[in-house]
Structure 1
């Protein structure tokens, strides 16, 4: 077997040795046999429960990039949560990858457990026109009326009713109506039949054919209840179209496969053909946003070819804690994205050191023969990993292959996580009988890894990896600490009801004027560096002071994080970023709770998890064709030539890539492509046509356009109707171009109606610019702000970036904050030119940013921001940016 002598380009630990894993012990082996196929890639395990709030929460780029194929949402007009109505979010869900949209019918009720945990009787009379009711019996079971109203709403209000699945009962074995099977079995079976028939009746009424129904929806695998239900529904013609139960606990990582095998055995015993399965809730708090945990769940569900949805433990609209900020990625999102990238592949046999074990090395292997691309995803161990790869057929991959390994490490639920770096790369590795051995240094047991193997192509993968921006990172517990405490965060403590810390430990009790955390770093050159600190600000924004070599060097400003209860307070972590100029050489960086050593900064008692330092002198990221998602006939072209391994686009063929921006602003997009005749490449960014890159003859080209990207994930689509091959797209930060944007403090805008300025005391620790904001916007057309057209008078396409706060809650719940997504509408001369929903920011004095596109038709009419129907978010600052600066250029390369 050939052994890869890969170029190691991992980040350097700032207080330790280069490429030393944070917690590496003995090497573990993960064997992947690409010759042993296990079926078509299913891709359904990245489903979510209440992953969607209102339209655009999360953003469309985040949704599409995560490749969400199924989600369970609230019943239309339901009252269980303020947002998440299935019909209201269906356009975004079905935009690209959405397949099955599930409805929890009982979520029509406002309380949890539903109806106080008691099965309703005939106490109400519902108006089927609008779902309202009066407190009087009418001879019809109340829930049957609710079921009819919900089904009718989907049948008449959805554009795609056939793509819905109704779940009449959620956790009936728990606190929801039927916990005692011995005494309530007959009632449940009769109620199942009644709800099933009522939904089918509505579908028949509208000529929609067969309505799909899922159940029973138990809290766990319940063999006795499941057997009784299947016998009944087989005899009564009401078999579920999707069989549903939940796998939530830590131990389910060890027991799920047997539970699934027992279910399939039960079907065979009863003479029932296999029914599709959806595990509509899986994982604990500790698993969310953690790539090394998520991959263990994904591997199990993909192995058994079922759909599955991460559980909803906090609030709607953030993919169950698998996205960051309004439009960004956390580390868990990147694992979802990598998993979705396997669409169109066949999965292959993977042998971990131990199967059906909790918190262990697990992986997924897949091969896309059409594009000659093999992938391995893995994680779950703190040891270095040896990948024992075999079955790489010479007819597909040739005799030599390129290998790239990317790493994404835990960065907190709200931690903005950049495009995963290549940590190991190898050019043209000779295969030995289709096999090779690859050693991968592992940063941390919570990190996740993607390995991409392709034929030896034109691109020098080692050179691309070496050209990445310099970076270094350190765990907070490894810093030199003064008046702070290291805490161990056991991943199995509290039954999994906790959020995990990178490296398994963090630093807290940072509450004295003398508290500080320091580390030494040796930077390679003079320039600007981004310091990112991952930490937990408990429900309020806060600040730390940054010192470099003993001198004050700025403020680290944290936004608030979730602090609903002890499970989230100080453990739900986000990230703060600050730019600092450093000369080449060694420096001591100090994070302090005080600027003067005697007075603590506002809300400085913030948990520290880790810090990283990254050069932004030439902040660029290469997205090679080998990592593109190829749709509608697009494919990788491995024909001989200088662009071997590029994406071939023609006709409707499309390449999708998901570019991260650590800052909102301008980026030069460089597209390396070639054509055999005059042709063009069309670039669409975040759903908006952005640039057409043209060449008037045959050749190899580099085209460039200066484009506005927004903080977090940006969806970039490439098409070439006349035909082209795209080798790569590179984003390069262009800060000088930011001068084209116009920034205005909300308090300096024209205030209309009730809109009013609120000054913030410094003691709040707020991250509001100028320590003021404008509130009481909306709730009527008169209450708004207007921005004169100074500096952006030209008609055209713009991005509007709004710095805002929204901490509105509505209703009560045992453990879910009932967040309200507030709508902001932009108008010009009375006509709407754009709008967006703005998600929860945890506190009224904590501000996030959210961008949305507008197209302005005039040169002099002000841009008006408001909401005629409900309160808009509080506004701190607004930035208006032309979507593109100048004209694209094309030159030979």
Structure 2
């Protein structure tokens, strides 16, 4: 067996606590046998409950990158939540990877539990045309009328009704109508039959064939209830098309596999063919956004080849706390993305140190023979990991392989996670008898890891890893602290009703004028560095002062984070970023609650989790072909020696990649590619064509263009109708090009109708630029903000980036904040050129950014921002940026 130690593999290691490489106390072994196949990759564990709010919340790039295949949403016209209507979000869901849209039919009711927890009787008469009702009986069970209205709405309003699954009952064993099984069994079974038949009746009326129905939807695995329901449904021709129950809590990481085995055994006992399973709610608060936790759930569900949906604990439209900001990734999102990258593979046998154990090392292994690519995802331990890899077939991988290890470390629910760094890489490692031992240093138990193994490629993976920008990280509890307190965040406290802290601890009580946290760090060169602080500003924006070597160096401005209750207040963490110039050598970075040591800054009592310092002098990220998603016949090409391992594109073949931008602005997008003849390469960004490159003959080429990217995830699609091979795509930040953008403070724009300026007091701690914003926009076409065409007086494609606040809530719920996504419409001379929904920002004083693409056809007609039908978000600043500046350049290599 070839053994590759951490020292030999490591090309660039993210520095760990106190600036030293992260080390653990012991090593655990994860065995992966690529010769033992366990089935086609299913990829259904990235499902989500109410992960979608309104159209574009979350954005298409975030949804597609996470490869969401199934989601449960609100019934059409339902009143349980103000957003999340299945039909309204279906276009974005089905656009790329969406397969099955589930509907919680009972979410037609506004109350939780539904109808006050009581089974409805016949007290109402529903108007099937509108869904409204009068309070009088009509001889029809009230819920049956609701079921008919919901099914009819999907049949008529949806473009994809055949891809819906109806869930008539959600948690009927809990507080929803049928908790007393001995006394309510017969009633439930009769009701199941009635609702099943009603849905089928509607489908038959519309010629839609068989309607898919899921159930029973119990709060947990209920063997007695499940047996009774399946036995009855078999006898009455009403078997569910998808069998559903929930796996919530901490111990479910240990008990789920037995529950699943018991279910399959029950099917056999009853003489039933296997029914597809969807665990439509799984995980606790503590699991969301945490790659080392999520991979444990993913592994179980992928092993059993079921679909599963993250539970909805907070608000709709953020993938159950697995995305950050309106368009960003947190660390958990990257685990979703890595898992989705396995599409088209076969899974393989993985042996962890202990199976069916809570909070332990678990993993997923997969092999894509067509592309000669093997992947291991793992996490869940604080110990270093030895990967014992076997079954690396010489006919697939050859005698030598390239290895790359990427790390996603916890950034909090709202903390922006950059593209995961390569923390270890090796070129041409010899494989003996199909075996390879790889030692991976682990940052902490909440981090997740991706290992990609391919045949020895023409790309120097070690050199690419070494070329990454320098970075260092420190846990807040390891900083030098003054008048602040270290708190332990037990991952199993409160039954999992909490959010986790990197390293298991954070720093709070940062509420005195003398509170400070300091970090001595040695930087390698003169230049600009980005300091990112992961911390929680509970419900309001706040500030810290930054000092470098005891000299004031700026303000760290935090946006507000969720502070709904004790489970989120202080624990729901975001991130703040600031650029600072440093000279080479040792520096003391100091975060302080006061600028003068006497006066506390507004809302400075912010929990601190960790800090990351990254060089941005040359801020580049390489996306190699080995990490591309290859669609429509595109594949990795291992036949061409000089470009082996490149992605071969031809005709409709497409490569998708998801590039993170820590800042909205201009980036050089550079592509290394090759052609066998004259050809072209087309590049689309965030769903719209951006630029193209042309080669006039056979050759190897380096092409580049300056393209506007938006904060967070940017979906990049590459095509070459005539044929080409792409080795890698690289993004390089170009701050000098930002002068091409036009920034307009909303208060300096033309205000129409009720639109009015509000000045913000410094005491709010707001992150509004100029401490003012424009509100009362919308709720009528006359109430708008107008932008004259100063500085962008040319037709063409633009990104409009809006800095906004939206803290609107509607209705009440036991635990979900009832957030409203506000719509903003952009018109040019009265013609709509774009619109987008703007998600919740936690506070009216806290501003986020959301970008939308527009194509302008004139050079003089003003842009108008508003909403004729409802209130638009409050507007702080608008930045209009040409999507591409200059001409693309192609050079022969």
Same fold (TM over 0.5): yes
Q: Which residue pairs with 1:630 in the alignment?
A: 630
Q: Which residue pairs with 2:620 in the alignment?
A: 620
Asked whether the 8 Å contact 2:19–2:473 carries over to 1, the reply is no
Tell me the SS of whatever aligns to 1:473: strand
**2:510, 2:391 → 1: CA distance?**
53
Q: Which residue pairs with 2:596 in the alignment?
A: 596
**1:107, 1:15 → 2: CA distance?**
49
**2:324, 2:53 → 1: CA distance?**
14
Task: Give the 5 Å matches for 1:129-140.
Answer: 129-140=129-140
**2:818, 2:887 → 1: CA distance?**
46
Q: Which residue pairs with 1:747 in the alignment?
A: 747
**2:132, 2:624 → 1: CA distance?**
55
Tell me the SS of whatever aligns to 1:642: helix
**1:632, 1:616 → 2: CA distance?**
36
**2:867, 2:778 → 1: CA distance?**
4
Task: Write out per-residue CA displacement over residues 95-125 of structure 1, whole angstroms, 9 at most, x where no aligned residue.
Answer: 1110000000000000100000000000110
- Structure 2 residue 474 is the aligned partner of structure 1 residue 474: yes
Q: 5+ unaligned residues in a row in structure 1: which ranges?
A: none
2:22 to 20, 23, 34: 20
Q: Give the drift of 1:263.
A: 0.1
Q: Which residue pairs with 2:835 in the alignment?
A: 835
Q: 5+ unaligned residues in a row in structure 2: which ranges?
A: none
**2:365, 2:589 → 1: CA distance?**
41
Task: Give the 5 Å matches for 1:96-111.
Answer: 96-111=96-111
Q: Which residue pairs with 2:289 in the alignment?
A: 289
Q: Which residue pairs with 1:697 in the alignment?
A: 697
**1:853, 1:590 → 2: CA distance?**
39
Q: Which residue pairs with 1:9 in the alignment?
A: 12
Tell me the SS of whatever aligns to 1:611: strand
Tell me the SS of whatever aligns to 2:643: coil
**1:200, 1:650 → 2: CA distance?**
44
**1:821, 1:694 → 2: CA distance?**
42
Asked whether the 8 Å contact 1:282–1:311 carries over to 2, the reply is yes
**2:26, 2:736 → 1: CA distance?**
48
Tell me the SS of whatever aligns to 1:262: helix
Q: Which residue pairs with 2:322 in the alignment?
A: 322
Q: Give the drift of 1:697.
A: 0.4
Q: Give the drift of 1:886.
A: 1.1
**2:738, 2:507 → 1: CA distance?**
37
Tell me the SS of whatever aligns to 2:370: helix
Asked whether the 8 Å contact 1:14–1:520 carries over to 2, the reply is no
Q: Which residue pairs with 1:542 in the alignment?
A: 542
Q: Which residue pairs with 2:309 in the alignment?
A: 309
**2:128, 2:168 → 1: CA distance?**
18
| Residues 202 and 621 of structure 1, relative CA distance in 2, 3 Å threshold | same
Q: Which residue pairs with 1:608 in the alignment?
A: 608
Q: Give the drift of 1:15.
A: 2.2
Q: Which residue pairs with 1:194 in the alignment?
A: 194
**2:427, 2:11 → 1: CA distance?**
12
Q: Give the drift of 1:14.
A: 6.3
Q: Give the drift of 1:63.
A: 0.2
**1:43, 1:370 → 2: CA distance?**
18
**1:580, 1:16 → 2: CA distance?**
18
Task: Give the 5 Å matches for 1:795-874.
Answer: 795-874=795-874
Task: Give the 5 Å matches for 1:659-698.
Answer: 659-698=659-698
**2:22, 2:276 → 1: CA distance?**
44
**2:22, 2:632 → 1: CA distance?**
42
**1:47, 1:887 → 2: CA distance?**
41
- Structure 2 residue 888 is the aligned partner of structure 1 residue 888: yes
Q: Which residue pairs with 1:791 in the alignment?
A: 791
Tell me the SS of whatever aligns to 1:320: coil
Tell me the SS of whatever aligns to 1:267: helix
**1:538, 1:255 → 2: CA distance?**
35
Tell me the SS of whatever aligns to 1:344: coil
Asked whether the 8 Å contact 1:647–1:727 carries over to 2, the reply is yes
Tell me the SS of whatever aligns to 1:702: strand
Task: Give the 5 Å matches for 1:223-302.
Answer: 223-302=223-302
Q: Give the drift of 1:887.
A: 1.2
Q: Which residue pairs with 2:112 in the alignment?
A: 112
- Structure 2 residue 575 is the aligned partner of structure 1 residue 580: no
Asked whether the 8 Å contact 2:768–2:845 carries over to 1, the reply is yes
Q: Give the drift of 1:7.
A: 2.6
Asked whether the 8 Å contact 1:34–1:392 carries over to 2, the reply is yes
Asked whether the 8 Å contact 1:532–1:578 carries over to 2, the reply is yes
Q: Which residue pairs with 2:388 in the alignment?
A: 388
**1:255, 1:71 → 2: CA distance?**
24
Q: Give the drift of 1:16.
A: 4.4
**1:692, 1:415 → 2: CA distance?**
33
* C-alpha RMSD of matched pairs (Å): 0.5
**2:107, 2:219 → 1: CA distance?**
16
Task: Give the 5 Å matches for 1:24-43.
Answer: 24-43=24-43
Task: Give the 5 Å matches for 1:346-425.
Answer: 346-425=346-425
**1:249, 1:570 → 2: CA distance?**
22
Task: Write out per-residue CA displacement over residues 594-633 of structure 1, whole angstroms, 9 at most, x where no aligned residue.
Answer: 0000000000000000000000000000000000000000
Q: Which residue pairs with 2:66 in the alignment?
A: 66
Task: Write out per-residue CA displacement over residues 781-818 of structure 1, whole angstroms, 9 at most, x where no aligned residue.
Answer: 00001000000000110000000000000000000000
**1:182, 1:657 → 2: CA distance?**
54
**2:182, 2:880 → 1: CA distance?**
64
**2:138, 2:22 → 1: CA distance?**
71
Asked whether the 8 Å contact 1:801–1:850 carries over to 2, the reply is yes
Task: Write out per-residue CA displacement over residues 275-324 of structure 1, whole angstroms, 9 at most, x where no aligned residue.
Answer: 00000000000000000000000000000000000000000000000000
Q: Which residue pairs with 1:443 in the alignment?
A: 443
Tell me the SS of whatever aligns to 1:389: strand
Asked whether the 8 Å contact 1:661–1:711 carries over to 2, the reply is yes
Tell me the SS of whatever aligns to 1:15: helix
Asked whether the 8 Å contact 1:14–1:522 carries over to 2, the reply is no
**1:551, 1:523 → 2: CA distance?**
17
Task: Write out per-residue CA displacement over residues 821-862 of structure 1, whole angstroms, 9 at most, x where no aligned residue.
Answer: 000000011100000000000000000000000111111111
**2:35, 2:225 → 1: CA distance?**
40
**1:20, 1:242 → 2: CA distance?**
44
Asked whether the 8 Å contact 2:759–2:772 carries over to 1, the reply is yes
**2:95, 2:334 → 1: CA distance?**
20
Q: Give the drift of 1:642.
A: 1.2
Q: Give the drift of 1:13.
A: 3.0
**2:780, 2:125 → 1: CA distance?**
34
Q: Which residue pairs with 2:560 in the alignment?
A: 560
Task: Write out per-residue CA displacement over residues 497-531 of structure 1, whole angstroms, 9 at most, x where no aligned residue.
Answer: 00000000000000000000001000000000000
Give the TM-score, by structure 1 length. Answer: 0.99
Tell me the SS of whatever aligns to 1:477: helix
**2:394, 2:859 → 1: CA distance?**
62
Asked whether the 8 Å contact 1:14–1:519 carries over to 2, the reply is no
Q: Give the drift of 1:20.
A: 2.4
Regions of 4+ moved over 4 Å: none
Q: Which residue pairs with 1:86 in the alignment?
A: 86
Asked whether the 8 Å contact 2:199–2:211 carries over to 1, the reply is yes
Q: Give the drift of 1:8.
A: 4.1
**Count of matched residue positions in the alignment of Structure 1 and Structure 2:** 890
Tell me the SS of whatever aligns to 1:658: strand
